[in-house]
Amino acid sequence: MKKPLAMALCLVMSSLVTPSGPCRAEDQAAFKAGQAARARGVDAFRAGDLDTALAAMEEALTHRPGHPLLLGNVAYLAAATGDGGRAYEAAQAYAALGLVPGAEIQAKIKQAITPDAWRRLEAMFARNDKKIGMFEISASFNRELQLVEGIAEDDEGTLYAATVVSGGIYRRDGWNAVQIVDAKDHEFGSFFGMTFHDGALYATFARVEQTPGYVQGEGQTGLAKIDPKTGDILKVWTLPDGTDGQQIADLTITATGTILLSDAQGGKVYRVAGDTLEVAFSDAGFMSPQGIAELPGNGLFLADYGRGIWHLDEKSGAITLMEPPANTTLLGIDGLIAHKGRLYAIQNGVNPHRIIRITVADQAISAVEIVAQNLEPWKEPTLGFSSESGVLYVAASQWPKYGEWGAIRQGAAPSAPTPIMLIRD
């Protein structure tokens, strides 16, 4: 799911840096100091003072070591100010995370370092950009469905899709997709995450820039309980104050039946409590909560697009930012899926896009493995779910191709149908 935060992470132009995140768990003081220094760097960059911008980004990096966003900014600014050695060093650190910086960063670095040094970097970027994993399309949704965000499967194996631009929930019927809910009929706007529980379909809804007829702050965001056979709306939960600074994005239902919802813009996690939504988890460090998943014996995990993965303790209410292994970033995660005792994270906020498998032991991350990356049908993968066959996910949501009110951006050409791909375990 494309979030406003993804754009806010950029220095000035989106081509300057791939939105990414921290390489180690950071405390709140370090995070705030790093963000403040980065903000000064952005201001200096906009004013054309590249030396001051570089100094501020370097300061931010001391607070948040190994942060890809900051490394990309330092590499670019060092190259722009004539410090080829520092540009090369920062680019090497960036590449060590398995990522590839944007074209404008690469072009600037290439101008500042020797041809031999550039060839070494280029080789690293090429290795990082390779395809990983099996190309296996399990199903697809036809071209009438625009901007498929989430999917879910009922007990009979029937697949359902939640759409943002089409504004409906669709059930796959052979080669066709049958609309069971039209968001316009209920003023839901757009649909995002979905899951099944006790025969009912639960779907989150909100209004975003790509929602047809979108007006900032208008409408509601929340959760709908739906009869998947008839499309009847059985119950609706909404947040007060409309969609101004709020967007219920994803959800999970725990083993005990608790329904938890992430608020991508408001920085909270809610639980269903009778007829209302109450705050279950809130932390000043949350930036953009996305996927939520539960691992038996290890508790709850929340993907934060701007920070990484948080561990959430339902009993104590404790919230802990998890430390990834060295040379790994956990930022830019959209979908988070629990499957056979491990987490699968869909990272569409890094370049290249990838799906990683995360092993958790004693509430700590012990291993991260790339299981799929840069596959041919991918056009911003988003959400998925665990099935008996493996992990199914939306492979081509195509968020970047849609603009305000769902209009196709100039020069873009969305492809169809939307493939649903499978990672076998």
Q: What is the pLDDT of residue 22?
A: 41
Q: Is the domain of 243 the same as that of 157?
A: yes
Q: What is the pLDDT of residue 348?
A: 97
Q: Is the domain of 114 the same as that of 141?
A: no
Q: Is the domain of 114 the same as that of 95?
A: yes
**Do residues 218 and 226 lie in contact, with contact meaning Cβ atoms separated by under 8 Å?**
no
Q: What is the pLDDT of residue 25?
A: 66
Q: In the chain, how many H helices and how many E strands? A: 8, 24
**Do residues 226 and 205 lie in contact, with contact meaning Cβ atoms separated by under 8 Å?**
no
Q: Is the domain of 184 the same as that of 319?
A: yes
Q: What is the pLDDT of residue 414?
A: 86
Considering its fold, how many domains does the chain have in total? 2
Mean pLDDT per block of 10 residues along the chain (425 residues) reads: 40 34 69 96 98 98 92 98 98 96 97 98 97 94 93 96 97 92 95 98 97 93 97 97 92 97 97 97 96 95 96 94 92 97 97 97 92 94 96 97 95 90 93
Q: What is the pTM of this model?
A: 0.93
Q: Is the domain of 356 the same as that of 224?
A: yes
Q: What is the pLDDT of residue 26?
A: 81
- Degrees (nearest 5) of the Cα angle 299, 301, 306? 160
Q: Is the domain of 380 the same as that of 405?
A: yes
Backbone angles phi, psi at 171, to 5 degrees: -105, 130
Domain boundary, last residue among 128, 163, 187: 128
Q: What is the pLDDT of residue 19?
A: 35
Q: Angle at which helices 84-96 and 103-112 pack, to 10 degrees? A: 140
Torsion of CA 391, 392, 394, 395, to 10 degrees: 70
Q: Is the domain of 160 the same as that of 245?
A: yes
Domain containing residue 94: 4-128
Q: What is the pLDDT of residue 31?
A: 93
Q: Is the domain of 146 the same as that of 118?
A: no
CATH number at residue 224: 2.120.10.30
Q: Is the domain of 264 the same as that of 365?
A: yes
CATH number at residue 39: 1.25.40.10
Q: Are strands 176-182 and 190-197 parallel, antiparallel or unpaired?
A: unpaired
Distant-in-sequence contacts of 275-279, Cβ < 8 A, 24+ apart: 275/237, 276/237, 277/222, 277/223, 277/237, 277/238, 277/239
**Do residues 100 and 125 lie in contact, with contact meaning Cβ atoms separated by under 8 Å?**
yes
Q: Is the domain of 176 the same as that of 212?
A: yes
